[in-house]
Amino acid sequence: MSVYLDTSDIEQIKILSDLLPIAGVTTNPTIVAKSGVKMLNLLPRIRDALDGDGLIFGQVISTNADDIVAEALKLNQMVDNFIVKIPVNMQGVKAIKRLKNEGVTTLGTAIYTSQQAFFAALAGASFVAPYINRIDMLTGNAIETVESISNLLSHHAQTCQILGASFKNTKQVIDCLSIRQASVTIPVALVHQMMENPCVNEAIDQFNQDWLDCFGSLSH
């Protein structure tokens, strides 16, 4: 079980990777476009923000297998511990299979169905990323889909990991993490929602006040 940040916000990557056990950072073309910085310059900044640790995921924009492979090989040279994200359709699975033979680690993304995940894993993807909220909006059964993927992987591709993505609320995150083999990548705003609870601060204030009332200062 691992938690990744789904962002290109360099300052938040620095802050949250210092505070929390973050395994790395995921991006996609939309996230990169929002940063206004192309991958060639963005990926090294993310690597520095992670202090050289963790995995970095970046996605191809090519759409046919030959171009996907060429782009993936180029991206794979930009930073260490890089995982190439490839949308899972016919051309994507073909590219994943070829990249496996090239020794390039891949993640099958844009997963809406268990059969997509199955073929991506069988082709050699090390990760598959089901789109939790998007599946929920289409069918309302995202967690059941992740459970089905988990069962398929346990039988047919034990080395492939689930990396849940596309979350809109904290319940979706926790429900996904409750499934075997599942890790998650979370937007920065949701990370803060998960960890910032006013009740905790109220409890700390009460503990400190009780200590002050008894001992006169916050010291041992």
Q: Which 3-state string (H, E, C) describes the chain? A: CCEEEECCCHHHHHHHHHHCCCCEEECCHHHHHHHCCCHHHHHHHHHHHCCCCCEEEEECCCCCHHHHHHHHHHHCCCCCCEEEEEECCHHHHHHHHHHHHCCCCEEEEEECCHHHHHHHHHHCCCEEEEEHHHHHHHHCCHHHHHHHHHHHHHHHCCCCEEEEECCCCHHHHHHHHCCCCEEEEECHHHHHHHHCCHHHHHHHHHHHHHHHHHHCCCCC
85 catalytically annotated: yes
Distance CA 81, CA 191 (A): 23
Judge contact between 188 and 15, C-beta under 8 A: no
In the set 85, 94, 100, 168, the catalytic residue is: 85
Phi and psi (nearest 5°) for 165? -140, 175
Q: Please give the positions annotated as active site.
A: 85
